[in-house]
Structure formats: C-alpha cells, structure tokens
Amino acid sequence: MRNNENHIYIDTNCLIGYIANKYGIYKDTKGFTKALQFLMALNGKKLYVSSLSVAQLTAKLQKRIGADRMVKEIEQIIHRFNVVEFNNDDIQSAITGALAKDIEDLYQYEMSQKVKCFYIMTDNLSDFTSLANITAFLPSKVRKAIF
C-alpha cells in the first residue's frame, strides 16, 4: 500500500527548533517556525511526531524553559500533532535494517512508515535520502516539497 501524500512526519530536530525559537534559545535560521506554521495551516494535511520526539524535546529543553512551560508545550504538541507510539518492535525493525548512519533517524523513519507518511521534514536530509517510501525536505523548502 502506498504512503499518503497528506501525511507529513516532523523530525525531532524540527520540533525542537520550533519550540526553542519560541523562547529565544537560538535564532530560527533554518526556518522551523515558518515551516511548521505553514503546515499547521494547511487543510487536509496530517502532521505526525513520535512519542520518542516528545521525550527528546523534553530532555533537551526542560531545563532551559522550566517544567511548567514544558508541560504547556507538550499539551500543545498533543493537540496539534498526531503522536505515534514508539515501541520495542519499532526499535527492532530500525536496527535490523540499519541502512543509515544515524540510528535515531532510523527510529524516526520507522515511525513515519507506521502511519504511511509520504513526507518527512528534517534539517538532516542525508540520513533519509537512501530510505524507501519517504520524501525528505528541509523546512526552508516546505512549499516547494508539498506543492
């Protein structure tokens, strides 16, 4: 069965960049915020992140923004994105087919395929270009990729 062109997976680095930019932790030079705002405004598109991404986001930013703000951000993520569960089978599948240098990106790929995503937005194209059934694009290229 073919992947759905309306399903877009958001890589962890883009999610972290989006939230970090809200708090001025670093400048949004890669366009995470504009890209995600654009995608969230599109009708008919479903955006996905993994439960692993939410955990990584929390580990990366909680100390910088505080627990109360982190909880509010997680609540917003749950409201705006479809969260894909990450489990033992996903880990096994990713490490068995280790086709990329970055195992964490293979986990993200497994999550994207679990929900039949056609696209993945990432700032690290190189780890996704050799993988089947996915079209990776940079946040700065979101409009070109989707249309």
In this structure, is residue 146 part of a structural domain? no
Burial class of residue 36 in the structure, from the number of CB atoms within 10 Å of its CB (0-12 exposed, 13-18 middle, 19+ buried)? buried
Cα–Cα distance between 94 and 78 in angstroms, integer? 24
In this structure, is residue 24 part of a structural domain? yes
Q: What is the pLDDT of residues 122-145, one digit of tens each?
A: 999 988 888 889 999 999 999 999
Q: Is the pLDDT of residue 76 over 90?
A: yes
Global pTM value = 0.94
Query: The CATH number of the domain where 78 resides is what?
Result: 3.40.50.1010
* Domain range enclosing 57: 4-137
In this structure, is residue 40 part of a structural domain? yes
Instruction: Name the domain count of the chain.
Output: 1
In this structure, is residue 104 part of a structural domain? yes
How high is the pLDDT of residue 85?
A: 97
**Angle between helices 12-22 and 51-65 in degrees, nearest 10:** 30
In this structure, is residue 142 part of a structural domain? no
In this structure, is residue 144 part of a structural domain? no
Q: Is the pLDDT of residue 101 over 80?
A: no
Question: DSSP secondary structure string, 5-66?
Answer: EEEEEE-HHHHHHHHHHHTTSS--TT-HHHHHHHHHHSTT-EEEEEHHHHHHHHHHHHHHH-
In this structure, is residue 143 part of a structural domain? no
Q: What is the pLDDT of residues 15-54, one digit of tens each?
A: 999 999 999 998 888 899 999 999 999 999 999 999 999 9
